[in-house]
Amino acid sequence: MAKRFQLLQGNEACVEGALAAGMKFYAGYPITPSTEIAERSAIRLPQVGGKFIQMEDEIAGIAAALGASVAGLKSMTATSGPGFSLKQENIGYACIAEIPLVVVDVQRSGPSTGLPTSPSQGDYMQAKWGTHGDHPVIAISPASVQETYNLAVRCFNLAEKYRTPVIFLMDEIIGHLREGCELIPAEELEIVNRGDHNVTGMPYAVSEGNYVPEFACFGEGEHYNVTGLFHDVDGFPTNNNEIARNAEQRLMDKIDMNLDDILDWEEVGTEDADVAILCYGGTTRAAKGAIEQAEAEGLKVGLFRPITVWPFPDKAVEELSKKVKHIVVAEHNYGQMLGEVKRVAKDNCTVDFIGKIDGTTLTPADILNKVKEVL
């Protein structure tokens, strides 16, 4: 038995959480700063009867993981910036073909090869819009090693429940951080497995009021077709515009109609705050440091942190914008979630930004200074 309490890197906790969720397959390609996820998966998966394969490139990594998922295994692939770009086409394939998959992106500075070992949150918009065409997205971002473990489980659960790729949007700050982590065993967690399939011969049909199709794994006897073309409920391609519209609408509804289940955020001390810091992922640690200092100085500063970063929590942020006078958005980029906040906050409060684009990290002092500026 592995020790229940271990000092782990965020990347290692991601693998342990995935294993607790039932991950049985990993395919990927090495890339800093996500490589530890591949390395630990290579060690751990065969120990639990799972499979690991290092593919010839990033695209093959996600393709093999999708193939394994179609064959019935809970699958994951992990990468960083350049690899995340390469995987985008097949993320769209997973969306339209409705194949459960967890895609981890441990963000690093970009564009292109950028600063391979430096932290960044520059892939926030890419997580949403990276693959072409209209498609729904679920992206989750952890702010500690323990949360990386817990949220890896949640990523798998959401992927299975909604039959969709889930982006685990990590960053170098948390991926390479070592902290204590409780390896909560699967028996003590809520684990979602792929639903029982209908046997109507209509793999993509959904029951009334439901948005998620449930179909069998390959090899179970149903000879259905999986394709990246728009398809009818029988799984076969179509050029019929009405069918295409309905199929696309259901894909969007699948996520939009279940926001209560999918959205998740942390909100601290915003009730009587003058300023709320809005951030996510590793940036949260500096923001919390800033809030500690602010409290010591008698300032009323709250925190709002989306944990599900996509879809964006429109309603909650709108409410926040009515509660506080100022919002400071802190991100390790040029201002990406900032646009979402402005869209939702409108003129309810001021919205300012503090970011970093040089590969260094925001410090509590950086954020506190910005807070003082807007007050």
Residue 146 in the binding site for other proteins (CB under 8 A): no
Return the number of the residue (209 or 221) whose C-beta is nearest other proteins: 221
Residue 49 in the binding site for other proteins (CB under 8 A): yes
User: Residue 126 and residue 190: Cα distance in Å, rounded?
Assistant: 30
Q: How far is the CB of 213 from other proteins (least distance, A)?
A: 16
Tell me which H or E stretch contains 9. strand 5-9
Return the number of the residue (75 or 308) whose C-beta is nearest other proteins: 75
Mind spelling out the 3-state secondary structure of 284-295?
HHHHHHHHHHHH
- From the list 60, 103, 167, 263, which residue makes contact with other proteins (rule: CB under 8 A)? 60
Beta-strand relationship, 265-268 and 301-306: antiparallel
Instruction: Map residues 312-351 to x or -, x wherever contact with other proteins holds by CB under 8 A.
Output: ----------------------------------------
Return the number of the residue (25 or 156) whose C-beta is nearest other proteins: 25
Return the number of the residue (60 or 139) whose C-beta is nearest other proteins: 60
Which of positions 99-118 make contact with other proteins (CB under 8 A)?
116-118
- Could you tell me which stretch among 23-31, 120-128, 260-268, 340-348 binds other proteins (CB under 8 A)? 23-31
Q: Residue 129, class by beta-carbon neighbours within 10 Å (0-12 exposed, 13-18 middle, 19+ buried)?
A: middle
**Angstrom distances, CA of residue 157 to CA of 20, 163, 195, 204:** 11, 10, 11, 20
- Could you tell me which stretch among 213-221, 264-272, 305-313, 340-348 binds other proteins (CB under 8 A)? 213-221
Instruction: Map residues 68-87 to x or -, x wherever contact with other proteins holds by CB under 8 A.
Output: xxxxxx-x------------
User: Residue 302 and residue 291: Cα distance in Å, rounded?
Assistant: 7
Neighbours of 156 (CB within 10 A): 28
